[in-house]
Chain A
């Protein structure tokens, strides 16, 4: 094939693993993966964490992160073997023929230099363009990426622009030296849904206009379906399936791909509201310390026993602050919170042990929500000891019961958090909350740090536990798909206010207000052409612009 740009054949990548308490051993990160990319085409690499997708992406630059070795196969770029090429050769091609867009633009930019200087740095270094030409090209790219005020955008510092804009600036940086290939490594994962869609659209336009080829790495199949021509599904370093976007989305061949396509399709019919709410928040207003602006203003919501209320909104909308107010960590400035018919004391220190017990919390990052120096038995057993005075055998038996309830079973009690996977950690956190026999659990973005299939498992477990134990959830999330799966009622939050509130069917049925419309339409759908359809029918620009 004359126009094959990147040809990876039987790539094998190994690394040395230092597991705690074990001898260092060799692990195969990527095993026998082959792909070929034609000039001007976009290939999506998709898989859960640890699938080796970023590692393959970096291998296209013949680069391995610390300790990673490209031990076998061929990497041909423009017909040239670059695996094991000299560092001088690699230097001359990285940043010129192949460029890279990282996940966290905020961490990738030097905060002490202006954007323009950084965007054209590689271009000047390789002598592709003169200073004036490069700046002109950068401005042109800023315009293509629909950044505001393209002529003056480069004069700003990284902290002066939003996260979505920074991600687009990095795309401009990658496209500036007129590369043949760009590696996009989860460029929109860290962004809000409403911002993600803009960045996605900008990247798509830029790819189309510059005619560059791209490897697009992500864990979100719906996102990759919008920008790619072909998709490769990876799992544990091996290729699962490779095909056109159409074939993968509409007729997946492998079971794993089928699971990825049908993720978040849990059917959950909402329950009718009961007579008396379990939790009632009335006109809650709160702010942090000496800040002059309220983070929450006049928030009123109700949650019924055994049901789920979802608080939805983008970052900064005040949904986590609402959790802090309810738990008593941040006493509200005004408003009343009633729990189980009785007013709940504002501050944590004024609450009785029973009031604390009945209201538990599960965190987003299960990693830091568990003391790394305590075993699972201590983590789950402590609430039993603390609230119910269980000791010795009785405690151990109850811990095992809880472990069974979260589907972990035998052999987990003596492990430390570092010895658990992400999904298992979150399950242990759920068990710790359940151990207190609470009436209500606040779930703060509990699935957003997890891979889609693992997150699905957690959601199913939560629904299952709700049916069995009758516990109510206050579910904080930015992900509408999660909300559809789990909520009975929904409160959409925007800039510290409740924008829309009601039962699930009420909130998710038109007519929408502008913000809810934006939020709902921004959630990527597993459908080709979704991006264009949505962009042409929007009423409101997102906050990122």
Chain B
């Protein structure tokens, strides 16, 4: 743990707290997820630490369960986008030529459509369930990962050790997973943190627009949506999820920044 800057340690601690709260939601939440326990928009008190929401549910409970959903969906979508994007990106780089051209141009085509609009169109014709949501988000995000991993792999693909593997007669699978992947891991790990935050923002946006997580399930975007009218009357309920999103974003980015700094100086072992 020595040598880790304070900012990264802080980021790691806060991120870990968020993930723990999400995992342990049923045990640490003071009330039931959709249980109505008080008046509408009660202020913070000993019973309700963050007050109650527009239906009289405990806001802290909603935040904890909301965090669970939001973080789960964002993690899964990020995982899908990374698996898909990096494997396709490496494949394009290793095969090159026409394969690369076709894959890259199709990727450009998908990227040229604004992500949010694309997601809204797809989700309005499909049943909004968790797997569909995760898949749509993952697919759309994988285009960015594809670009990054292809660019990194093209660079590694011309190294002498990859040529040596080819001369040995190794198949493309060995080249991709044993020669290129370990050396491309550093920039990808750094990108992972950033993509995760974008996924959280994306799922929150979708929920706010009503196409994400459906009530009575809780999620941070949904909580903003449910309580947005309270802002007019000076009720801060809608701002609490925003604070949570900001806190988590900054924490994860602190960790990602540190990972990025650490890994660019190594550059996959080159020039370190």
Contacts and interface: CB of A to CB of B under 8 A. Distances in A.
Interface residues of A, number: 29
Interface stretch (A51-59, A337-345, A361-369, A494-502): A361-369
Contacts of B167: 327-329, 348, 356, 360-361
B272 A368 contact: no
Contacts of A432: 164
B269 interface: yes
A511 interface: no
A71 B161 CA distance: 41
B166 interface: yes
Contacts of A371: 161, 178-179, 182-183
A383 B168 contact: yes
Contacts of A368: 159-161, 270
A369 B163 CA distance: 8
A376 interface: no
A20 interface: yes
Contact of A416 (B164, B183, B269): B269
A360 B169 CA distance: 11
B95 to A, nearest CB: 12
Contacts of B166: 329, 348
Nearest to B183: A373
Interface string B178-192: 110011000000000
B270 A363 contact: no
A370 interface: yes
Contacts of B108: none
Interface string B70-99: 000000000000000000000000000000
Interface residues of B, number: 18
A351 B166 CA distance: 12
A369 B168 contact: no
Contacts of A96: none
B164 A373 contact: no
B269 A372 contact: yes
Interface string B226-262: 0000000000000000000000000000000000000
Contacts of B170: 386
Contacts of B178: 371, 374
A106 interface: no
B181 to A, nearest CB: 9
Contacts of A68: none
B268 interface: yes
Interface in A409-439: 416-418, 432, 436
A370 B161 contact: yes
A468 interface: no
A408 B164 CA distance: 22
A533 interface: no
Nearest to A369: B160
Nearest to A418: B269
A357 B167 CA distance: 9
A386 B269 contact: no
A219 interface: no
B182 A373 contact: yes
A484 interface: no
A329 to B, nearest CB: 7
Interface centre among B160, B166, B183 (most CB of A within 10 A): B160
A437 to B, nearest CB: 13
B269 A361 contact: no
Contacts of B161: 368-371
Given A20-B272, A365-B160, A418-B269, A372 B183 contact: yes
A246 to B, nearest CB: 42
A382 interface: yes
A393 interface: no
Given A372-B269, A383-B168, A418-B269, A329 B183 contact: no
B12 to A, nearest CB: 21
Interface in A291-334: 327-329
B262 to A, nearest CB: 12
Nearest to B182: A373
A353 B269 contact: no
B270 A372 contact: yes
Interface string A373-408: 110000000110010000000000000000000000
A308 to B, nearest CB: 20
Interface in A9-31: 20
Contacts of A367: 270
B168 to A, nearest CB: 6
A386 B169 contact: yes
26 contacts: A20-B272, A328-B167, A329-B166, A329-B167, A348-B166, A348-B167, A351-B169, A357-B169, A360-B167, A361-B167, A367-B270, A368-B160, A368-B161, A370-B161, A371-B178, A371-B182, A372-B183, A372-B268, A373-B182, A373-B268, A383-B168, A386-B169, A416-B269, A417-B269, A432-B164, A436-B168
Interface of A: 20, 327-329, 348, 351, 353, 356-357, 360-361, 363, 365, 367-374, 382-383, 386, 416-418, 432, 436
Nearest 3 CB-CB pairings of A with B: A372-B269, A373-B182, A369-B160
Given A328-B167, A356-B169, A372-B183, 15 more contacts: A20-B272, A327-B167, A329-B167, A348-B166, A351-B169, A356-B168, A357-B169, A363-B160, A368-B160, A369-B164, A371-B179, A374-B182, A416-B269, A418-B272, A436-B168
